């Protein structure tokens, strides 16, 4: 997924989309995922990063990441690539 | 390296300006223990879902209700409304506290007898009493509350010419200012039906009119409705005294006091709007005391309070089966309990707490039950922490009507656990199994075998 370049993201998890005027809040892990997406990491790589750092099964992360990306997409914060 | 605790990623749109000024924090407090017993342990031992009842809470509720009435009026008698929750263990807590039994079918009647309630301490209400049922009640000297003329005529046929004095009351319905008027049960006060019923009873010496009964509705939000009801019953009692010199011994005000559950769609939390038990008690007792009866002729006040005595004494423990997104992005959480065992989710926005500690994030979600049916919605909209498969929750205030109106549909009914005064837990009803169901079925010989 590609995060839209004009989306403003603060360290505290506050997100502003100037295109739609909508504001959002995300939790620390959501923020890390957005950072990783901005840095061009693949979904598989993101899952590996999270399971190395957190106490969680990769199947759980896979489900949660799929859901999170669908929300970023529906809020017009990111777009699926290829 | 020690791994960090995981929380699923979460993003929420900020809707500026539509915050509820009353806040919606309450449901986020975890409920990890019930009467000192860990919820986790209860689920481990008895399975999920399961109902858990607090004996302590029932006794406290009962004592508080008795206090509210007895400090205001000399002659008070409660009768436990069996239909509200007729598990024997629950009924016997009330009976140990001094409550009689109020039943509305011969099945409930037999349950009361089985529990050891003396026949003359059973109030027999309800619209469906057969002649056989009435005969049993007569032989046990129970209080028969007549619901309609057909019942009254059946009763007359049974007693006519016999040297009996059968104790009866009539159920009276009336306009108490609350809409809709409950005029389906009993005899109407305003149009003279109640008076006609009294007249008919008084013409049969085998019948002894000892009481007048009114159950004006359920979850009554205004205590003043009881003052109106009390006034009308007192008036009827006075007229009977004037006309036949017959002393009515008791006035029964039925049930109907609200519990602290919030009605579906209500804007305010129930605890902020419902009358207290003291307010109901004041409305009833002040009216009867001030009506003008002589001290030695004061009627006993009977109460058949149901939900207000038991609702908050029971919990339903359950587990998250799955979480998903609906087509409009709303979060949906599927629980292992639904309207099959939580019938009252049709009426109430039940308070639901996570059973474990959570981070500060929460999201709005719809809670579904496990049934493959569209009606199976436990909460249409509830703010809860980020729940995951396997997480446990506690549904509060489920003591009234669920363990009697639950249905065996798609799923079996679960165990019911009682936590006693010393924190020990007991199974008071077993969960159902395939065997339970098969016990009642018969397959004709030609249908015994199949080959596919
Ligand atoms: C005759 C009678 N008494 C008592 C009750 C108990 O009512 P509640 O649970 O509202 O107190 C009912 C319930 O409908 C009833 O029909």
Q: Which residues of A touch B326 (CB under 8 A)?
A: none
Smallest CA separation from ligand 1 atom 7, residue: B255
pLDDT number for residue B22 = 41
Per-domain boundaries in chain B:
33-53+313-438, 125-305
The predicted structure's pLDDT at residue A82: 66
Residue B13: its chain A contacts at CB < 8 A? 22-24, 75
From the alpha carbon of B307, which atom of ligand 1 is closest?
Answer: 9
Which tens digits make up the pLDDT trace of A18-67?
888 899 999 999 999 999 999 999 999 999 999 999 999 999 999 999 99
A 10 A CB-CB count for B351 gives: 22
Q: Residue A55 is inside which H or E element, if any?
A: strand A54-55
Position in ligand 1 atom list of the atom nearest CA B218: 10
Answer for the pair B31, B65: CB distance below 8 angstroms, yes or no.
Answer: no
Q: Which of A22, A33, A56 sits opposite B13 (nearest CB)?
A: A22
| CA dist., res. A52 & res. B254, Å (int) | 63
Q: What is the B307 CA–ligand 1 centroid distance (Å)?
A: 8
Q: What is the pLDDT of residue B20?
A: 44
Give pLDDT tens digits for B331-372.
Answer: 999 999 999 999 999 999 999 999 998 877 888 999 999 999
Question: What pLDDT was estimated at residue B23?
Answer: 41
Q: In the CATH scheme, what is the code of domain B33-53+313-438?
A: 2.40.37.10
Among the listed residues B358, B425, B411, B430, the one whose alpha carbon sits nearest the alpha carbon of residue B387? B358
Contact: B9, A65; criterion CB under 8 Å: yes
Q: What is the number of other CB atoms lying within 10 angstroms of the CB of residue B334?
A: 18
Identify the bridge partners of residue B167 per DSSP, sorted by sequence position.
B208
Contact B145, B101 (CB under 8 A): no
**Rounded to the nearest 10 degrees, what angle do helices B55-70 and B88-97 cross at?**
40
**Tokens 């109901």 appear where?**
B280
Say if the Cβ atoms of B7 and A60 lie within 8 Å.
no
B14 neighbourhood in chain A, CB within 8 Å: 22-25
CB contact A75 to B (< 8 Å)? yes
**Protein residues with CB under 6 Å of any ligand 1 atom:** B 81, 84, 102, 125, 215, 218, 254-257, 304-308, 400
Coil/strand/helix, residue B32: coil
Q: What pLDDT score was predicted for residue B438?
A: 95
Q: What CA–CA distance (Å, rounded) separates B412 from B332?
A: 23
Would you call A53 an interface residue with chain B, using a CB distance cutoff of 8 Å? yes
What CATH architecture does domain B125-305 belong to?
Alpha-Beta Barrel (3.20)
Ligand 1 centroid – CA B104 distance (Å):
10
Q: What is the model's pLDDT at position B25?
A: 47
> Nearest CA to B87 among B357, B310, B407, B321?
B310
> Residue B86 in 3-state DSSP?
coil
Residue B401 CA: which ligand 1 atom is closest?
9
The whole-angstrom separation of Cα B275 and Cα B132 is: 41
The ipTM is 0.96
Length of chain A (residues): 82
Report whether the peptide linkage leading into residue B180 is cis, meaning its omega lies within 30 degrees of zero: yes
| Nearest CA residue ID for atom 10, ligand 1 | B256
Structure tokens at B307: 């939900």
The ranges of chain B with pLDDT < 50 are 17-26
Find the B184 Cα to ligand 1 centroid distance in Å: 14
CA B258 / ligand 1 centre spacing (Å): 11
**Tens-digit pLDDT profile for residues B386-424:** 999 999 999 999 999 999 999 999 999 999 999 999 999
Question: Which pLDDT value is given to residue B18?
Answer: 47
Nearest by CB: B4 against A22, A54, A64: A54
Residue B212 and residue B75: Cα distance in Å, rounded?
A: 15
């Amino acid at each position: 997924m590609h995060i839209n370049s004009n989306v403003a993201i603060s360290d505290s998890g506050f997100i502003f989309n100037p295109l739609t005027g909508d504001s959002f809040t995300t939790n620390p892990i959501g923020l890390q995922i957005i950072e990783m997406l901005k840095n061009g990491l693949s979904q598989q790589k993101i899952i590996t990063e999270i399971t190395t750092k957190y106490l969680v099964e990769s199947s759980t992360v896979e489900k949660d990441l799929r859901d999170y990306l669908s929300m970023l997409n529906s809020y017009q914060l990111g777009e699926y690539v290829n | 390296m020690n791994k960090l605790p995981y929380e699923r990623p979460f993003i929420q749109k900020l809707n500026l300006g539509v915050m509820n000024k009353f806040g919606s924090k309450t449901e986020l407090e975890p409920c990890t223990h019930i009467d000192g017993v860990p919820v986790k342990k209860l689920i481990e031992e008895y399975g999920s879902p399961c109902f858990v009842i607090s004996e302590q809470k029932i006794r406290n509720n009962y004592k508080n209700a008795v206090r509210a009435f007895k400090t205001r009026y000399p002659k008070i008698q409660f009768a436990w409304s069996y239909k509200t929750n007729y598990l024997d263990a629950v009924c016997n807590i009330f009976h140990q506290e001094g409550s009689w039994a109020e039943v509305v079918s011969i099945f409930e009647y037999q349950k009361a007898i089985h529990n050891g309630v003396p026949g003359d301490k059973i109030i027999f209400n309800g619209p469906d009493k057969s002649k056989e049922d009435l005969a049993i009640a007569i032989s046990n000297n129970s209080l028969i509350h007549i619901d309609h003329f057909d019942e009254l005529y059946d009763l007359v046929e049974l007693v006519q010419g016999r040297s009996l004095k059968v104790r009866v009351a009539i159920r009276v319905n009336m306009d108490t200012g609350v809409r809709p008027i409950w005029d389906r049960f009993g005899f109407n006060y305003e149009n003279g039906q109640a008076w006609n019923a009294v007249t008919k009873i008084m013409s049969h010496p085998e019948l002894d009119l000892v009481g007048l009964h009114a159950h004006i509705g359920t979850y009554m939000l205004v205590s003043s409705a009881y003052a109106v009801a009390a006034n009308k019953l007192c008036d009827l009692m006075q007229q009977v005294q004037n006309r036949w010199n017959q002393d009515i011994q008791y006035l029964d005000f039925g049930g109907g006091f609200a519990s602290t559950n919030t009605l579906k769609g209500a804007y305010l939390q129930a605890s902020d709007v419902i009358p207290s038990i003291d307010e109901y008690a004041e409305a009833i007792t002040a009216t009867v005391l001030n009506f003008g009866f002589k001290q030695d002729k004061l009627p006993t006040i009977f109460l058949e309070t149901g939900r207000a005595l038991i609702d908050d004494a029971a919990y339903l423990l359950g587990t998250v089966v799955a979480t998903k997104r609906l087509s409009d992005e709303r979060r949906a959480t599927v629980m292992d309990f639904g309207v099959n065992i939580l019938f009252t989710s049709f009426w109430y926005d039940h308070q639901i707490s996570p059973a474990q500690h959570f981070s500060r994030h929460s999201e709005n979600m719809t809670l579904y039950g496990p049934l493959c049916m569209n009606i199976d919605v436990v909460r249409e909209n509830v703010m809860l922490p980020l729940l995951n498969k396997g997480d446990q929750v506690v549904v509060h205030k489920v003591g009234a009507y669920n363990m009697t109106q639950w249905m065996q549909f798609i799923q079996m009914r679960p165990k019911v656990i009682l936590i006693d005064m010393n924190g020990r837990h007991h199974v008071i009803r077993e969960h159902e199994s395939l065997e339970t169901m098969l016990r009642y079925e018969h397959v004709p010989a030609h249908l015994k075998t199949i080959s596919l």
